[in-house]
Structure 1
């Protein structure tokens, strides 16, 4: 039996599964590369790249299990995998605290302009404390779009800072929000009320461009938007234009629509975006779940699911 790992995952996965099978690693293969590799493997361990389409699943003649070390499954043709008898396991909730803490971190960075201040001191060698006048989270309204595990944890941390929580989730009832000391709202109501909008919804045809020029027009001019979910949920062209026109207070993201356009983790990877010109835009390379704690917990979960599926 053989296992193929195609992304950076916790070392325990290779160590534990290696007791039962041969484990090989090929970091972020293209779809064509994976299609050529996959026929000899029974287990595939991955995160979100590349997209697992019908062609790859057809080539995977021996594949029994796909272990996804993340939450979203929109990159896998789930219906076809089920048709082929391939079990797919993800790790819902196990990165919730890691992503929530990163969200709060970026919220604070934009509120206090710490990234620019750091650059002024370290790069420009300027020491001007009067240049930076920030604002506190206390007393502000935090709008959470998507009130699942991550969204609820963000809300919990926001409350610790003295924030008022409003939330949108089409799958929840009013009492579900009330249990979490939040007020349920429509998208438009939330955008109008919030000083901060934090996005925690999956990327689907319904959520594509969920935040675009039309929605930005509802927001306060100093509203800060945070996207720790998926690139494509925020229309980056519209966000760039809003930032340039000072129609929004800032945009913090851990994801971008074309984040792997330059090759992802491959050597020399790079890409450009007009958003990079904006002082009120801060970004990280999809590190939401990249903590030793979340990686360990996800690894143990996926190990258990694979062993259970294969009766190891």
Structure 2
């Protein structure tokens, strides 16, 4: 019987073509209600989405045969990762496909903002000739502050350095040696706010980044700072941004993303502000990017459905590691030991200690520890796997300790 994959957002035809070539049935089902989705989800082992579909815990519960979710794009904040992990559903993205398109759009937004291009365009289209009204600013010699120096942030920095900008960056994951090679000066957030003429954000949406740019942070910026957001709408407090625009503390904003999409009526004053350049979440909307993200996520999803290793999972390194041949025998042994321990237990499970000795076990200690936990928990949970073992243990209040030893035996 053919495996089936549901596609609930508009993606490149490459998705369906690649799946069918591998003998996997692809079904495109767009604009279904939540109840309609719940009724059909048990048919599918795979699910491909873009940003339009929000996969909630109740949908994951309804998808009783679901093994893998593929996000054609980078951000996975529209997927309940905790619920997916709890059910042992692998979630993967396509982190590389839209990097260039998003970076190019960010740079275009930046220059449009600095030179008032959309406003001048609209004025001329209306029949006016207002050369003196649209007096812009050069970006050469100005300072660009990049919040989040991942692939897209670095690509933006590289391109804007070509325009003669000085580039600062804040990213706790980037070390100074790498930043120096990229021609980027690593600074604190407060230093970035104080020194930047233009600020662009390229972070995922997390508890830490939600509302990162707000009334307090705008007050730390240069008066008239320009702000660009092609990442996630919620990273900027939109009400505070509108207030900062009206006061002149922020000189202009270029926005491709919004806290609600399509934007709700309360966002119209921000979008319609004369110093705002706004686009409808199209940074990754190029034919090249859409093909690349579709191809990338589909190739990975096929690998996962066929039981092979994947490289873009976002909720488990374990599946990527488990496919390595040198660890297979150790995995089987670790799981068997866990099963034996579970059978020998008398009373409630409070703590598990896994000690790994020898070269190979030490290198895969975290994965082998998950295998032990999977074996133990299989006594109580039939659906436990490498993805959800640690989550289930935590929910059970089990203390889990992993030890490594240089002793060979």
Task: Name the SS of the counterpart of 1:134 in structure 2.
Answer: coil
> In the alignment, what sits opposite 1:79?
82
Larger radius of gyration: 2
Does 233-242 or 35-44 show the bigger shift?
A: 35-44
> In the alignment, what sits opposite 1:11?
13
Rate the CA distance shift 1:31–1:204 in 2: closer, same or farther, 3 A: farther
Determine whether 1:304 maps to 2:299: yes
Rate the CA distance shift 1:247–1:261 in 2: closer, same or farther, 3 A: closer
Aligned-CA RMSD value? 1.7
Deviation at 1:35, TM superposition (A): 2.5
CA distance in 2, matches of 1:288, 1:32: 31
Determine whether 1:240 maps to 2:235: no
> In the alignment, what sits opposite 2:379?
none
Task: Name the SS of the counterpart of 2:135 in structure 1.
Answer: coil
Unaligned runs of 5+ in 2: 308-409
CA distance in 2, matches of 1:28, 1:42: 20
> In the alignment, what sits opposite 1:287?
282
Residues matched between the structures, number: 304
Q: Deviations over 1:229-272 (max 9, x none)?
A: 1011000000001111111110111100011466xxxxxxx885
Unaligned runs of 5+ in 1: 263-269
Deviation at 1:192, TM superposition (A): 0.7
Looking at secondary structure, tell me which structure has more helix per residue: 2
Q: Deviations over 1:162-218 (max 9, x none)?
A: 000000012222223212111111111001100110100011111111000000011
CA distance in 1, matches of 2:195, 2:213: 15
> In the alignment, what sits opposite 1:24?
27
1:30/1:50 contact within 8 Å kept: no
> In the alignment, what sits opposite 1:177?
179
Deviation at 1:277, TM superposition (A): 3.2
Task: Name the SS of the counterpart of 1:273 in structure 2.
Answer: helix
> In the alignment, what sits opposite 2:103?
100
Find 1:68's aligned residue among 58, 71, 74: 71
Deviation at 1:295, TM superposition (A): 1.1
